[in-house]
Chain A
Amino acid sequence: MNRHFFGDTGVLLSRSLRHIARSPDTIITTAIMPIAFMLLFVYVFGGAIETGSDSYVNYLLPGIMIMTIASGISYTAYRLFQDLQGGIFERFQSMPIARSSVLWAHVLTSLVANLISLVVVVLVALLMGFRSGADVLGWLVVTGILVLFTLALTWLAVIPGLTAKSVDGASAFAYPLVFLPFISSAFVPTESMPGPVRAFAENQPVTSIVDALRNLFTEQPVGTGIWTALAWCAGILVVAYGFATLAYRRKIS
Chain B
Amino acid sequence: MLTRMSMASTAGAIRVEGLEKSFKDLKVLRGVDIEVARGSIFALLGSNGAGKTTLVRILSTLLRADAGTATVNGFDVAAQGADVRESISLTGQFAAVDEILTGRENLVMVAKLRHLKDPGAIADDLLRRFSLTEAGGRRVATYSGGMRRRLDISMSLIGNPPVIFLDEPTTGLDPEARLEVWQAVKELAAGGTTVLLTTQHLEEAEHLADRIAILHEGRIIVNGTLAELKQLLPPAKVEYVERQPTLEDVFLTLVGARKNGENQ
* Size category of the binding interface on chain A: 20 to 34
Taking a contact as CB atoms under 8 Å apart, the answer to whether B94 and A87 are in contact is yes
Question: Of A12, A23, A87, which one neighbours B100 at CB under 8 angstroms?
Answer: A23
Contact A96 B96, beta carbon cutoff 8 Å: no
CA of A42 to CA of B85, assembled, Å:
56
Check B109–A11 contact: CB distance below 8 A: yes
Whether B101 lies near A18 (C-beta < 8 A) is: yes
Map CB proximity to B onto A2-29 as digits: 1 under 8 Å, 0 otherwise.
0010011001100100110011000000
The answer to whether B96 and A90 touch across the interface, beta carbons within 8 angstroms, is yes
Question: Are B100 and A95 in contact (CB-based, < 8 A)?
Answer: no
Instruction: Mark contacts of B153-174 with chain A using CB atoms, 8 A cut-off: 1 yes-contact digit, 0 otherwise.
Output: 0010000000000000000000
Assuming the A-B contacts A18-B105, A90-B62, A90-B90, are A95 and B113 also in contact, with contact meaning beta carbons closer than 8 angstroms in the complex?
yes
* Contact B113 A8, beta carbon cutoff 8 Å: yes
Chain A CB within 8 A of B40 CB: no
Complex contact B64–A4 (CB within 8 A): no
Task: Give A86-128 as 1s and 0s: 1 = Cβ < 8 Å from B's Cβ atoms.
Answer: 1110111111110000000000000000000000000000000
Q: Is B88 an interface residue (CB 8 A)?
A: yes
Say yes or no: is B208 at the interface (Cβ < 8 Å to chain A): no
Given A11-B113, A90-B90, A252-B62; A96-B100 close (CB under 8 Å): no
In the complex the two chains form, what is the Cα distance from A7 to B111 in whole Å?
A: 12
In chain B between 183 and 242, which residues have their CB closer than 8 angstroms to a CB of chain A?
none
Query: Is B98 on the interface with A (CB-CB < 8 A)?
Result: yes
Q: Tell whether, in the assembled complex, residue B109 and residue A15 are in contact, meaning their CB atoms are under 8 Å apart.
A: yes
A253 close to B (CB within 8 Å): yes
Q: How far is the CA of A12 from the CA of B114 in the complex (A)?
A: 12
B110 at the A interface (CB under 8 A): yes
Interface residue from B96, B115, B139 paired with A86 (Cβ < 8 Å): B96
B97 beta carbon closer than 8 Å to chain A = yes
Is B73 part of the contact surface with A, judged by Cβ < 8 Å? no
* Residues on B with beta carbons closer than 8 Å to the beta carbon of A12: 109, 113
Nearest-Cβ distance from residue A115 to partner chain B, whole angstroms: 21
In whole Å, how far is B60's beta carbon from the nearest beta carbon of chain A? 4
| CB-nearest residue of chain A to B159 | A96
A-B pairs under 8 A by CB, number: 66
Select which of A15, A93, A94, A95 is within 8 A of B98 by beta carbon: A15
Distance A49 CA – B36 CA, assembled complex (angstroms): 76
CA distance A36 to B97 in the complex (A): 37
Q: Which residue of B61, B64, B93, B105 is within 8 Å of A94 (Cβ)?
A: B61
Asked if A88 contacts B86 (CB within 8 A), the reply is no
> Among the listed B89, B96, B105, B115, which residue makes an inter-chain contact with A7, where contact means beta carbons less than 8 Å apart?
B115
Residues of the B chain whose Cβ atoms lie less than 8 Å from the Cβ of A97: 85, 113
- Least CB distance from A113 to B in Å reads 14
Residue B82 interfacial (CB < 8 Å): yes
B169 to chain A, nearest CB (A): 13
Query: For the complex, what is the distance from the CA of A171 to the CA of B157, rounded to whole Å?
Result: 35
B171 to chain A, nearest CB (A): 13
Residue of A nearest to B88 (CB): A94
Bound together, the chains give a CA A215 to CA B92 distance in angstroms of 54
B62 and A94 form a contact (CB under 8 A): yes
Q: A96 contacts B82, CB within 8 Å?
A: yes
Smallest Cβ distance from B123 to chain A, in angstroms? 13
B100 touches A19 (CB 8 A): yes
Q: Is the C-beta of B34 less than 8 angstroms from some C-beta in chain A?
A: no
Asked whether any CB of chain A lies closer than 8 Å to the CB of B95, the reply is yes
**Partner of A18 from B61, B100, B155 at Cβ < 8 Å:** B100
Shortest B20–chain A CB gap in Å is 16
Residues of B with C-beta under 8 A to A15? 98, 101, 109
Chain A interfacial positions (CB closer than 8 Å to B):
4, 7-8, 11-12, 15, 18-19, 22-23, 86-88, 90-97, 252-253
Given contacts A15-B98, A91-B90, A94-B90, 6 further A-B contacts (CB under 8 A): A11-B109, A18-B105, A87-B94, A90-B62, A96-B113, A97-B85
Which B residues contact A (CB, under 8 angstroms)?
Answer: 60-64, 82, 85-86, 88-90, 92-101, 105, 109-110, 112-115, 139, 155
Please provide the 10 A-B residue pairs with the shortest distance between their CB atoms, ordered closest to farther: A87-B96, A91-B96, A94-B90, A96-B86, A94-B60, A96-B85, A87-B94, A11-B112, A88-B96, A87-B92
19 A-B pairs with C-beta separation under 8 A: A11-B109, A12-B113, A18-B105, A22-B139, A23-B100, A86-B96, A86-B97, A87-B94, A87-B95, A92-B113, A93-B61, A94-B88, A95-B89, A95-B110, A96-B82, A96-B85, A96-B86, A96-B114, A97-B85
